[in-house]
Structures are given as C-alpha cells and as structure tokens.
C-alpha cells in the first residue's frame, strides 16, 4: 500500500530535538569508537560503531519526517545496545561505577516526546523498559560470564564524559519538553482564538448513491481567518494535532454535526440523510470518547444510525484491540464507521477482520488517476472486490469528472463524493441544493450531470 506524507504529522521542534540528539550520539560514539580502536580494543570498537550507524540512519529518517515505527525500532536498538554494552564491557569495578546506562533516562525522555506526538502502548513499553533497565543496571552488579571489562584508564575518562554528556542531553530534552507543553504558539494560538471567535465552521459535501440521489454529506472543517482568509484543514489540523487541540476541535465538529442531524431529523424530506464526520486518531483514542459521543447523541436526541464516523488507519497507533472495542461499543449504539483514505496506509489488511467498519472510502489520490493509470484502476477494482467480499460499502471520494464517475460506477462503487457532484459548501447552500430534483443515473445514461454547487 502507498504511504502519504500528511499521515506523518511533523513537529518541527521534535524533529530538531531528534536531529540534535542523533547527531550528538553519532559524534559521541564515533569519538569512543576511535579511542577504542586506537587502544587496540577491536571488539569494543566494533560494538561502539553500532550506535554510530543507528544514529546516522535515524538522523536521515527523522530529517525526512519519517517517525512512526522507525522511531520505535531505533529506540529499541539503542536500549538493547546500552544494556548489552553495560553487561559486556562497562561492568562496574571498585571505585569505578558503570556509566553507559546513564543514557537510558534520556532515551526515556525522548520516547516521551514521541509519545506526546503519537501516543502508543509500544512507546510507553519502551519508556518503561528504559527506566527499569536504568535502575537495574545502576543498582545491581550484573555482568555476562564472558564480560571483557574496559581498561581502567579508559573508564577514568568515561566516568566524567558520559555523565556530563547525558546531563547535557537531559537538559536539552527538558527544555524542549517544557516548550512543547507551554502555551501554544503561532497557528495553534490562533486556533484557540478561532474557536472562541467562531471562525471554525463546517462545510458539507454531498454524497450521492448509484441512482444519483444525495443520501448524505461529509462534514469538513473550515477555518476562515479574519486576515489570512480560508486556511486549509490540511495545514491547520496537523498543527492542532501537534499541540493536542484536536480532541477539543473534534468535539466542536461532532457537536455541530449533531445539531445539523437534529435539524434534518425534524424535516421528513431530510430525515434519512446521513452525516459523515472525520475523527482524528488523538480524538478517538481519548479515554472518554465513547461517553462524549453518547452524551452528545442523547443531548441532541439524534438517531445514531444517521451518524457515520470516518477514521483513518492512524487510529490503530493505540493498538488494534482497544480500537476495535471502542468501535464495537459505538456500533452497538447504531453508529457506523468508515475507513477514510483507504489504501494510503501501511497497516496489514488483517485489521479489517477485527474492526467493525461498514464502508471503505477509496482515497482520492487513486480516483484522480483511474482513467490514466492502469495500476490505479486495478487497485480501485481490488479495493471494491475486497469490500464486496467483506460485505462493506465502497465510497469513492474525489470524483471530479464524468469519466471517473462512469468507471467507478462500472466497478460497482456504492456512494460517490467529489467536485463532480458538489464542492464542500455552507449548510444553507447544501440544504438549498437538496430541494433541486434528484438527478438521474448519471454514470450510464447521462455522463455529464449538472453540479449541485460550484466553488
Ligand atoms: P478527507 O476526510 O479525506 O476529506 C476529503 C477531502 O477531499 C476534503 O479536503 C475535500 O474538500 C476534498 N475533496 C472533495 N472532493 C474533491 C475532489 O473532487 N477533488 C479534490 N481534489 N478534492 C476533493 P479538505 O476539506 O481540505 O480536508 C482535508 C482533510 O482534512 C480531510 O480529508 C480530513 O482528513 C481532514 N479534516 C477535514 N475536516 C476534519 C474534521 O472535522 N476533523 C478531522 N479530524 N479531520 C478533518
Ligand atoms: Mg473524510
Ligand atoms: Mg479521505
């Protein structure tokens, strides 16, 4: 499957912290590699070149904004290296304590920085393992039977150098953490203000069935800045995510969406419309997400079967089981789930077996090229076949042309969404467009239907 950069929400500060930390580790380990090599300690020099390599690979990946699992693998490698080195070479001698393990709390701090950006159980486990290893290696005189203690003259240097460098990196991490947790800056601060000033609104993009009838809409967040005008969600949502604002903003979106659904419910002509709401991973993985949804549904007396929640694979960062449990709880209420941007992630398809999803939403990047690229056309056919086998609906998003619509119709997609049918528009405009008579089956009989709205 194909990855997409926007999934990797980069935090500039965290990137800088990682760059600085990895370069420092690479430099530091190189110095030691040379010292060991010059002193004829070949085995130790080879071992010490291991963190140099990991640090440099990590630096390159982090500079490209690639965190995710790579980050966790790199942390695990360092953890194992420090434990191995401490047990094999850096064994405590009378008057000469172990020092390599002093980097473990720093590793834990860097892990915590990553956890703030992308919470995961695996990350928490690595942090815990780093801290436990630190305590054990500090308190116990553990060593391997085949241990080759470092010569006393080198240990004498290490006793001063390692704690000094560990303290320095520790202070830098604390500084970054404090900045990360302090008042949001720039766009994030503006966003907090935007919520207060009600500059955030929802746009509604029609979703059309195979008969050309509008059966619902996707609610898409819009920010109209007083001076900068419309700001794309693609830029402000990652910023909101970084500073932990997404659960609050997502709560606002849900509330607005339910107000709209309650309105539609009261009108017999609109009562059957569904509304799809995007839910970010951080919002979904909040411990009280189910309670919040339940509370909002009852407060607005909305039929849960009209609400559809769109999740992306990134939600699985919290682990398949807890996500599946939460989805099952909400599915019991009658809410349905859609897997958004399907085909862009890296996860194994096996997760589809465990998650109670009702529909797959084919990412618009595939739809964009179905008429030009045989590969993308084949991919869309496969996604449709997969959905059919699993008894799921298929939604095609980003449908811009009659040719794309005709192809997707022929493939068997159930629902269509895109500029060909209507751009995201204000609620009043969307509701007005519904009054227009339903359109015929556009795919076969009328390949160029009139748009619901432009703009
Ligand atoms: P998405 O959920 O995949 O939403 C579809 C995006 O495709 C929307 O971009 C929509 O305006 C755009 N689109 C629709 N039809 C077409 C088309 O025919 N051609 C092209 N080129 N684009 C089309 P938008 O509104 O900029 O949103 C971008 C992303 O921001 C969304 O992608 C979603 O991931 C996120 N987002 C938007 N609103 C919310 C929200 O309320 N909560 C959360 N968590 N995420 C949101
Ligand atoms: Mg969506
Ligand atoms: Mg999408």
The pLDDT tens digits of the residues spanning 46-88 come to 988 988 998 888 788 767 666 666 678 788 998 999 999 999 9
For residue 416, list its beta bridge partners: 208, 396
Is pLDDT above 80 for 188? Answer: no
| Ion ligand 2, residue ranges at CB < 5 A | 278, 310, 340
Q: Whose CA is nearest to atom 33 of ligand 1?
A: 278
Give the ligand whose atoms come closest to the C-alpha of residue 279.
1
- For residues 35 and 187, which has the higher predicted lDDT (pLDDT)? 35
Query: CATH homologous superfamily of domain 185-442?
Result: EAL domain (3.20.20.450)
- Return the H-helix or E-strand segment holding 231: strand 229-231
CA–CA distance, 77 with 428 (Å, rounded to integer): 55
Q: Whose CA is nearest to atom 17 of ligand 1?
A: 398
Find the 137 Cα to ligand 1 centroid distance in Å: 50
Q: 278: Cβ below 6 Å to ligand 1?
A: yes
Q: Which two tokens stand for residue 343?
A: 């085909």
**Helices of type H across 266-308:** 281-284, 289-299
- For residues 16 and 142, which has the higher predicted lDDT (pLDDT)? 142
For residue 337, list its beta bridge partners: 309
SS (H, E, C) 335-401: CEEEEEEECCCCCCCCHHHHCCCCEEEECHHHHHHCCCCHHHHHHHHHHHHHHHHCCCEEEECCCCC
Question: Are residues 21 and 110 in contact, defined by beta-carbon separation less than 8 angstroms?
Answer: yes
Is pLDDT above 50 for 448? Answer: no
Question: Are residues 277 and 307 in contact, defined by beta-carbon separation less than 8 angstroms?
Answer: yes
CA–CA distance, 291 with 402 (Å, rounded to integer): 42
Taking the whole predicted model, whether its pTM rises above 0.85 is answered as: no
Q: Would you give the end-to-end CA distance of the chain in angstroms?
A: 32
Q: Which one of 6, 195, 220, 341 would you pick to mutate in the ligand 1 pocket, going by the greatest count of ligand atoms within 8 A of its CB?
A: 220
**Tokens 């194909």 found at:** 2
Q: 425: Cβ below 6 Å to ligand 1?
A: no
Q: Whose CA is nearest to atom 45 of ligand 1?
A: 278
Q: Whose CA is nearest to atom 15 of ligand 1?
A: 418
The ranges assigned to domains in the chain are 4-182, 185-442
Rg for the chain, CA atoms, rounded: 27
Cα torsion angle, 351, 355, 360, 364, sign: negative
Q: 454: Cβ below 6 Å to ligand 1?
A: no
Find the 441 Cα to ligand 3 centroid distance in Å: 24
Give the ligand whose atoms come closest to the C-alpha of residue 424.
1
Is pLDDT above 80 for 204? Answer: yes
Query: What is the pLDDT at residue 153?
Result: 85
Q: How confident is the model at residue 358 (pLDDT cuts 50, 70, 90)?
A: very high
Q: 341: Cβ below 6 Å to ligand 1?
A: yes
Q: 12: Cβ below 6 Å to ligand 1?
A: no
């Amino acid at each position: 499957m194909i990855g997409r950069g926007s999934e990797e929400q980069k935090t500039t500060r965290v990137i800088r912290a990682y760059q600085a930390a990895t370069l420092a580790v690479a430099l530091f380990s190189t110095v030691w590699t040379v010292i060991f090599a010059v002193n004829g300690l070949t085995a130790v020099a080879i071992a010490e070149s291991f963190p140099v390599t990991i640090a440099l690979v990590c630096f390159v990946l982090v500079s490209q904004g690639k965190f995710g699992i790579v980050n966790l693998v790199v942390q695990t490698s360092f953890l194992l290296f420090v434990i191995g080195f401490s047990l094999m070479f850096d064994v405590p001698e009378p008057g000469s304590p172990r020092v390599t393990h002093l980097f473990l709390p720093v590793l834990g701090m860097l892990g915590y920085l990553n956890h703030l950006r992308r919470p995961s159980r695996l990350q928490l486990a690595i942090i815990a393992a780093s801290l436990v290893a630190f305590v054990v290696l500090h308190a116990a005189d553990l060593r391997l039977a085949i241990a080759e203690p470092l010569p006393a003259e080198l240990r004498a240097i290490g006793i001063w150098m390692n704690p000094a460098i560990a303290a320095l990196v520790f202070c830098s991490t604390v500084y970054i953490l404090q900045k990360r947790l302090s008042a949001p800056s720039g766009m994030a601060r503006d966003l907090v203000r935007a919520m207060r000033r009600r500059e955030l609104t929802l746009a509604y993009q029609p979703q059309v069935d195979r008969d050309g009838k509008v059966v619902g809409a996707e609610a898409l967040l819009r920010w109209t800045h007083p001076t900068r005008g419309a700001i794309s969600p693609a830029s402000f949502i990652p910023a909101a995510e970084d500073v932990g604002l997404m659960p609050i903003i997502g709560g606002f979106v849900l509330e607005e969406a339910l107000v709209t659904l309650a309105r539609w419910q009261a009108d017999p002509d609109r009562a059957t419309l569904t509304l799809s709401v995007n839910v970010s991973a951080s919002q979904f993985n909040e411990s009280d997400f189910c309670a919040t949804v339940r509370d909002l549904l009852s407060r607005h007396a909305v039929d849960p079967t009209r609400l559809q929640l769109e999740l992306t694979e990134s939600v699985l960062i919290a682990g398949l089981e807890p996500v599946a449990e939460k989805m099952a709880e909400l599915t019991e209420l009658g809410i349905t789930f859609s897997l958004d941007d399907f085909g862009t992630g890296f996860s194994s398809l096996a997760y589809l077996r465990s998650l109670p999803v009702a529909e797959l939403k084919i990412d618009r990047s595939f739809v964009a090229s179905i008429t030009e690229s045989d590969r993308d056309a084949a991919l869309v056919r496969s996604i449709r076949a997969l959905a059919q086998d699993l008894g799921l609906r298929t939604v095609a998003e980003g449908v811009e042309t009659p040719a794309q619509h005709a192809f997707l119709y022929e493939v068997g997609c159930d629902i269509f969404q895109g500029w060909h049918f209507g751009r995201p528009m204000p609620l009043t405009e969307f509701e007005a467009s519904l009054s227009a008579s339903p359109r015929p089956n556009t795919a076969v009989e009328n390949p160029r239907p009139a748009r619901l709205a432009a703009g």
